[in-house]
Amino acid sequence: MKTVQKFSKAYLESCSKFTTVEIVAFLEGFRELHAVKGNENKKEKSKLISIKVPEDLLETFRAKATLENIPYQTQIKRLMREWAKA
């Protein structure tokens, strides 16, 4: 049986005033709170996407990642996480 969370009208009203930034901050905090501690390198479920990137930018990015001994897609994900946390 699943637990059902009940919210007061006052709480729901206060939540309806959240800005987009506050909602994103809440969701990120929730995600971090429920992350498995001590298992940060656990494989996360990923979604395959398609994105157009200028060829010269991609070549430069891949070359720099290779020089730093980092898989370029891993570096892209790191940069995305850092930006999302900022």
Q: Flag whether 60 is in a domain.
A: yes
Q: Flag whether 39 is in a domain.
A: yes
- Look up the domain containing 47 and give its range: 9-85
pLDDT the model gives residue 2: 75
pLDDT of 26 > 90? The answer is no
- Kindly list the distances between the CA atom of residue 71 and the CA atoms of 11, 13, 44, 46, in Å, as whole numbers in the listed order: 45, 46, 17, 16
Query: Tokens for 32?
Result: 């971090």
In a 13 Å sphere around the CA of 20, the CA atoms on its Cβ side amount to: 0
At what angle are helices 55-67 and 72-85 packed, to 10 degrees?
100
pLDDT the model gives residue 27: 84
Least confident of 3-12, 29-38, 47-56: 29-38
How do residues 3-21 score in pLDDT, each as one tens digit? 777 888 888 888 889 898 8
The answer to whether residues 66 and 76 touch, using CB atoms and an 8 Å cutoff, is no
How do residues 63-82 score in pLDDT, each as one tens digit? 999 999 999 999 998 999 88
Domains held by the chain: number: 1
Query: Tokens for 61?
Result: 């990015």
Q: Flag whether 27 is in a domain.
A: yes
Q: Flag whether 1 is in a domain.
A: no
